[in-house]
Amino acid sequence: MREVAVVGVGMTKFGTSEKTQLEMFSEAAMDALAESNLKPKDIEALYIGNAYGGLQESQRIMGGYAAEEIGCWNVPAPRFESACSSSTFATIDAIMAIAAGYYDIMLVSGVERQQILSTPWNTKAMAAGHSFYEMPTGLSFPGVFGMATHLYAHRYSIPLPELKEAMALVAITNHENGAKNPKAQYQVTIRDMMERRKAKAQKEGKPLPIWSDEMDYLHDLTANPMIASPLQLFDCCPLTDGAAAAVLAPLDIAKKLTPKPVLIAGFGASSAGTLCGQKDFSRVKPREPSAKKAYDMAGLTPKDIDVAEVHDCFTIAEILAIEGLGLFDFGDGWKAVKRGDIKIGGKMPINPSGGLKSKGHPVGATGVAQIYDIVKQLREECGPRQIEGAKIGITDTMGGTFAAIGNIILKRGW
C-alpha cells in the first residue's frame, strides 16, 4: 500500500452565500488545484460529500455536474452521504483508492447550502434518529445533545450548573479562535457580541444590560435563549453555506508537486445504530474504535497529537469528542475546558479554526474543512491562531446521532 498525502487545499468563506453549491464547490476546488500546481485535466477521480442537496437545490446526483463545472471530463465522480461525516468518508475512500494504486491524483470535496432552507425544512432534513422508532417522538438534534448533557452530568456526578459553565467556556473559546479565522462564519468573540448589545441598547435609549463578562451574558436567557434544556443558543452550531476541497496523491508524487506535502498517517471509521439501542450516549462508543484504528495505523497515541479539529456541533459534543479521542480521560474533558487546556497555547489545543461552533458547519463540507485547517496548521500558515510547533493533527467528524464516525490523522511529510 502506498503512502498518501495532501498536496493542496481550498475552502470558501463559511456563512451565507448567494452562490449555488456547484459554484461554491468550484471555488474551493480551483483553489486546491492551484495550490497543487495542477489543472483539472490532471484529476483522475473526484469524490464529493453532500448531505442534503436534494432538498436544498433539488440536486442529488452532484458529482458529475461538479466534475463538469471545473473541466474534469468523464472522471468517476460519486457523491457520498453520511450526514456530517459525508466528506470525511469521501476522503477515506479516496485514500484507500490511491493507496491501492488504482488512482494517482484525486480531488475530494464537500459542499452544503443550508441557509437556502427554512428552519423547519432544515430540521426535517437533519432528522435526528431512526425514522420509525425515534423521529415520531419529535426528537431533534438539540434534543439529542440536551439528553447527552444530562446523561454526562449524571454519569460523572457533575452538578449541572458546573457542567454548563464548562460548556459556555467551549463556546467562548471557539468564538475567540473563530474571530482570528478569515474563513469563519462568525469572526466575532462573545464579548464583542455582548458589547454590541450594550451599545445598541444605549443608542436606542433602553436600559443598559448588567453583564460584567461573557459568562453573565451567556447566563441571561434574553441574550442566550433556551433551545433544548439545558442547551441554550450559544451551545449550538449555526446553519452554514460553504465548500472545501483537497487534492490527494501518493507521497512520492506529492513531493514533486509541493515542498510541504501533508501525509495521511492513519484513519479510522465506525458506526452506531438507533439511540434507543445505544442507551447511554454520555460516551460516544463508535468514536473509540474509530480513533483506535487511526492511532494504530499511524503508530501513534493520543499523546502524540499536537492539534485537533473535533466535531463540536454542540458544546457538549466537544467535551465528548476530546474524551473519546483519548486526548483527555473520560469524565475529565469538562475539567480540561475549565483549566484552559483546550485553548491556543494550552495543553491540547482544540478547534483553533473556531470549530463548527464559530467557523460554521456546512454539513457535507465539514470533514474536508477540518482537513483544510489541519493542513494549514502543519504548514504553519494560520497566523494568529497558529499552534506553535504543530507536526501532527487529527480530525473528527460525527454524522447523525453518533451513527457515523470518521477520524483522520495527518502529519508533516517533509
pLDDT in tens, 163-211: 999 999 999 999 999 999 999 999 999 999 999 999 999 999 999 999 9
Separation CA 295–CA 299 (nearest Å): 6
* Residue 128 pLDDT > 80: no
CA atoms within 13 A on the CB side of 190: 26
Tell me if 278 sits within 8 A of 402, measured CB to CB.
yes
* Residue 83 pLDDT > 90: yes
Tens digit of each residue's pLDDT (9 = 90 or more) over 33-71: 999 999 999 999 999 999 999 999 999 899 999 999 999
Tens digit of each residue's pLDDT (9 = 90 or more) over 134-154: 888 888 899 999 999 999 999
Tell me if 43 sits within 8 A of 72, measured CB to CB.
yes
Rounded to 5 degrees, φ, ψ at 297 are -65, -40
Whether the full predicted model's pTM is greater than 0.75, yes or no, is yes
**pLDDT confidence band for 271 (50 / 70 / 90):** very high
**Residue 216 or 121, more confident:** 216
Tell me if 217 sits within 8 A of 190, measured CB to CB.
yes
Separation CA 126–CA 221 (nearest Å): 26
Q: How high is the pLDDT of residue 35?
A: 97
* Residue 378 pLDDT > 80: yes
Rounded to 5 degrees, φ, ψ at 21 are -60, -40
Radius of gyration of the chain (CA): 20
Q: How high is the pLDDT of residue 125?
A: 83
Longest dimension (CA), the chain: 68
**Residue 23 or 130, more confident:** 23
Separation CA 411–CA 414 (nearest Å): 9
CATH topology of domain 4-118+238-412: Peroxisomal Thiolase; Chain A, domain 1 (3.40.47)
Q: Would you name the residues annotated as active-site residues?
A: 84, 361
CA atoms within 13 A on the CB side of 360: 31
Separation CA 363–CA 87 (nearest Å): 9
Q: Where are the domains of the chain?
A: 4-118+238-412
- Residue 152: CB atoms within 10 A of its CB come to 26
Q: How high is the pLDDT of residue 138?
A: 87
| Angle between helical axes of 63-70 and 21-35 (0-180°, round to 10) | 50
